[in-house]
Each structure stands twice: as structure tokens, then as C-alpha cells.
Amino acid sequence: MSVLLQRNLAALNRGVSFSKLSFIRKNSSAVPNQSDDLPVHEYGVGSAGDRKLYVWGLVEHGGLGVHHLLKKKKFPPQYYQRPSSHNLAHLCKISDIACGYGFSLFAVKKDKVRLLGCGISTDGQIGYQAPRRNHPLGMVQTASPIQLPIADDTKVIRVAAGRAHSLVLTDSQGLFTLGNNAYGQCARAVVPGEDYASVNNLYNVKHLGGQRIVDVCCGQDHSLMLTEDGGVWACGWGADGQTGQGHFEASVAQPRAVATGDVAGERIVKVASKGDFVLALNDKGEVFGWGNNEYKQIVAADILQINTPVHLKQLQQVAGRIVDIGAGGSFAIAVNECGSVFVWGFGLLGGGPQLTRAGAPQRLPATLFGGGEGEGEVQQVGCGLFCMSAVTRLGHLYMWGRNKGASLGLGHTNDQYFPFKVAVGAEVLKVATGVDHTLALCKPFA
């Protein structure tokens, strides 16, 4: 069993045990029927723009935020196997979404509310949620406000979610972190024995190296920040080299620059990570990687861990200029400027039952993504921990991989070996995939 899978299954006492969800629901507070006692947050009825929100996957942990739809049903479904339209987009303007391990984040704008969260909160990853003082909830099943100490005119422009921590980026007041900080992933000093759920553990990072933070990304237990000068900063769990700073330290409590190796002097425009390795894309369409290399997600050499960024030259040779990237648990995906998709690593890579391991990038035929005019041209790719996604120029979503919790949205719970079109009734703008649930931010088809 791989190191990554061992960490997923055991969680090393630092994440959420999904086998204990029923325990969390029954014992997350001393208040009986606590989720029903929570105040119902009504934001008013009316148009909130042209955005639509679709959700699917496992229902039990609350990450879909559909409790208001389920509580009246005698036998509520275990999964949403197909995309279901969520009314949140009709109540407030959603600008960004993120899926963690059993929880979700929504960057919104409605009155003074800027951030909503739902799902598991045993580590305070969706803020301090308590219907009664000193009785914090371990699970919140309806999207609820997360209080931020920001000015009324400040906007949340990006959210990211890890195993049990969250990053919230604003346009003018820097980055806010919350949740589990056992390895410094919240960009602050580690406090042994800290109770993350019982206090409001928000932490603010105003800038890094004198530069404004413009984007954020969460791996499992590490965090990545992108600054306006194209620099990358990292903190958190680094035992696989995923902080990219030339070491294998288990804990990096303060953000440090990723400035050595092949990224030295490069202007990075995007970073991607879901597990224990990282991909970075520069402004010239070149890709770099560091962290776990157990399945040759970074280089073809038999090197298990890489702690300094390296250029993925083999990808450039076969794909040319890259425009988007994704990094899953043990596999990677990229799309070039022509809309061609390339995959490599270990998992259900999208080329059929035989393509489960690739030490070099493999191109997926355009016909797998429709093949009609504009349809086979992919513009956006991404990864969950166990699956991949691609969005075409026409805004159609394709997913494949392990179908944990029906997170592929295909109407069943079987694994999917080829890209398959998801029946989303709108143009997909962004997809967020966790371990077993998925969100899609959309707009109506033109």
C-alpha cells in the first residue's frame, strides 16, 4: 500500500475519519437535534446574477449543503448521483467554490456576508459554528456564514480547502486561514494540543515578501500561496518535499518562498495540488513539479520524493505550451493551447481499463470529449484526490476516475475509465472536487 493511501486510510489522527460520520453527527455537541436548532440564514429572494450552482456526491457529511431539502424526507438519499441544482446561487452571488474532505466553501456577496461553509467542522475548517456558547458543532449541514474580520467593501476572491484546513483570500486585506494547523498549514506557529474547533482560530497573512497574495491552493496538509510577482510560497506538511524548499521537514509553520531549483527566476501563474505533490505553471506555458513522485507524477526516474522544483521537460516535448494543470492524489493532468489533454501517473487515467499507470504523459483522444465543432477542445482541467475533470470550450463537463460517493455525477457509483459527459444543465465555469463530493459553478447556456 502506498504512503499516500496509508495516510488517507489512517489519517494519522489529523484528519476526518469518514467511517465515523454518524458518530460526529450524534456527538458533535451537547445540544439535542443541534442542526435543527441552528438559525436559518435567509438572504432574501431575488436575482443574484446569472450564476448557477450544482452539487453531487455523498450527502452524509453535509458538504453538499442540502439538509434543508432532506430533513423532510423519510428516507433521504445517501448520494446525489447526478448534478442537483442548489438554490444558494439564487440567494447570493457566488464568486468561488472549494471542496475539502467532507466540507465546502463558498465565496459570496450578500449584504455583509462574504463567506459560507457547510459540512464537517471538527477542526474549525468552516469557522466557529455554535448554536449555543461553548457547544461548537462538528458538522453543519446547511451553508452558513463564516465570520471574517474584514471591512464591508472587502471581497473574498478565492477559497481553497485541504483535508481539514481552509484558505480564504481577499482583495484588500490579505489571506485568512482557519482549521487544523498541526503542521503549520495555516501559516502560523504550531500549538501542541490545540483545540481547533472550540475557538475562532482565524489567522491573517497580509502579504508575503512584501508582495500581495493573488492566489492560493491547498494540498492535503500543506498550503501554497502565489504572489503578484509570480513567486510561490509554501507551508505545512513537507515530509514528501511538497513545500519545495529543499528539505523533507514534516512541519513548516511559517510560509517560505519556493525559489530554488528550476523555478528560480520563473513567473508562476498557477499552482495545483490535492495530495502530496505539486504542479506549477509559468507564464510561458511550462510546468514544474515537486513532492511525492511514487508513481512518476513528476519525473520518470525512480525517485520517490523530490524536494526541489524540477521542470517537466518531457511534458513540454509532447504537449508544447500548457494552459492549465491539475494534480490529484497519484496522477496529473494538463491541457495545451490546442485543447489536447495529457495524463500521467497512477490511477484511472481516462484511456480505458488498461491505462492505469503511465510514467510519461499520454494524450487522450479528442473524440473522448465529444469531437464536434469546439466540443473536443478542452480549456480547463482539474483533479480530485481520486478523479479528474475537463471542461470544453462550450462549457461541457467531463469526469472520470474513481467514483467515490458518486462524486462523478454520472447517475451511478461505478468507477469510470473514460471521460464521460456529466449532465449539468448549464455552462460550467469552475469545478471543485473533494474526496467524495463535487460542486460546479455555472451560468446558463447562451
pLDDT for res 23: 35
pLDDT for res 340: 96
**How many Cα atoms sit within 13 Å of 301 on the Cβ side?**
7
pLDDT for res 132: 65
Within 10 A of 69 (CB to CB), how many other CB atoms are there? 17
What is the DSSP annotation of 91-113? HSEEEEEEE-SSEEEEEEEETTE
Q: What is the mean pLDDT of each run of 10 residues along the chain (446 residues)?
A: 40 36 36 37 45 96 84 76 95 96 96 95 91 76 94 97 98 98 97 89 96 98 98 98 97 96 98 98 98 95 96 97 98 98 98 97 95 79 98 97 98 98 97 98 92
Dist CA 113 CA 100 (whole Å): 21
pLDDT for res 199: 81
Within 10 A of 174 (CB to CB), how many other CB atoms are there? 17
214's enclosing H/E stretch is strand 213-218
User: b/e for 127-150, b at 16 or more Cβ within 10 A?
Assistant: bbbbbeeeebbbbbbbbbbbebeb
pLDDT for res 110: 87
What's the sign of the alpha-carbon dihedral 227, 361, 345, 312? negative
What is the DSSP annotation of 323-372? EEEEE-SSEEEEEETTS-EEEEEES--SS-TT-SEEEEEEEEPGGGGT-S
141's enclosing H/E stretch is strand 139-145
- All residues at 6 or more sequence positions from 348 whose CB lies less than 8 Å from its CB, including other chains: 356, 387, 400, 401, 402, 415, 416, 417
**Which of 117, 300, 292, 122 has its CA nearest to residue 219?**
292
Q: What region, left, alpha or beta, does residue 283 occupy, with left being phi > 0 and alpha being psi -120 to 50 degrees?
A: alpha
Dist CA 423 CA 319 (whole Å): 29
Per DSSP, 414 falls in state: S
pTM of the complete model: 0.88
Supply φ then ψ for residue 58, to 5 degrees.
-70, 135
Residue 83 in grid coordinates: 448534478
- All residues at 6 or more sequence positions from 291 whose CB lies less than 8 Å from its CB, including other chains: 219, 240, 241, 242, 244, 273, 276, 277, 278, 298, 305, 306, 307
What's the sign of the alpha-carbon dihedral 288, 166, 185, 277? negative
Helices within 11-87 (DSSP H only): 21-27, 34-37, 67-70
Dist CA 251 CA 176 (whole Å): 19
- All residues at 6 or more sequence positions from 8 whose CB lies less than 8 Å from its CB, including other chains: 329, 385
pLDDT for res 41: 37
The burial of 190, by beta-carbon neighbours within 10 Å (0-12 exposed, 13-18 middle, 19 or more buried), is given as: middle
